[in-house]
Amino acid sequence: MKKALAFSGGKDSLACWLLCRQDDPIVIWVNTGKTYPETLGVVDLVRSQTDKFVEVKTDQAAQNAEHGLPSEIVPIDFTADGMRITGPREIRVQSYLQCCWQNISGPLHETAKRLGVTHLVRGQRLDEAHKSEARDTVVVDGLTFLQPIEHWTRQDVLTFIGRHMEIPEHFALDHSSMDCYDCTAFLGQSIDRAEWSRVRWPELHSAHIARLEQVARAVLPSIGALNQILRS
């Protein structure tokens, strides 16, 4: 067995590290180039505790420039594929699933395979709003997923971390991994993150808002037309 931990720097993956560090796993972290300083602090803490830390660098900015801003609502005319029919537009939008896969999940998965990993520890919980269909011990593309906190609650995670160290303040946020400070998706879970940025990181907040305004310009016309038709 060759074990690795998929590490994001958030509370769930930190709990997994505290659970399995005695097994001396490889730790794989994907650096999108847009990570919050708070998350980098957690990443550096774990990096200092192992000599098997693997950093995978991706370019979120370049991927977004080519494929568009991530969103839950994707107006087809504003996607790269849609523009082949409607013509070029100033703003591009993509599914957040595509953005997360190409910038984080895919590179992490490919790195694990390249390193010969057989078992990948993941900090997925069943009570999360967003989660994959994969469950503990399922085999995906030759990798056995180990999800030791699958049945934990958010509070279980925080309580466990608190037994080992001081809980980082930002772990109170819904999206504690904070992979990309300018992410324009997961809006329902990003209200507290946006306020955190506004108070602590005004420049990052401004970049986030500017991108959200672009998404709104792409999405709102379709919503407005839909409302008009429904009311007619």
- Kindly report whether the global pTM for this prediction surpasses the value 0.75: yes
Q: In the 8-state DSSP scheme, what is residue 165? A: S
| Size of the chain in residues | 232
Q: What is the CATH number of the domain that holds 149?
A: 3.40.50.620
What are the pLDDT digits (tens) for 3-24? 999 999 999 999 999 999 999 9
Q: For 146, phi and psi rounded to 5 degrees?
A: -110, 120
* Number of domains making up the chain: 1
Give percent above pLDDT 70 in the chain.
100
The answer to whether residues 34 and 104 touch, using CB atoms and an 8 Å cutoff, is no
What are the pLDDT digits (tens) for 82-114? 999 999 999 999 999 999 999 999 999 999 999
Q: For strand 53-57 and strand 26-31, is the pairing parallel, antiparallel, or unpaired? A: parallel
Residue 171, domain extent:
3-231
Greatest pairwise CA separation for the chain in angstroms: 65
Angle at 6 between CA 94 and CA 110, to 5 degrees: 65
Q: With bands split at pLDDT 50, 70 and 90, how would you rate the model's confidence at 210? A: very high
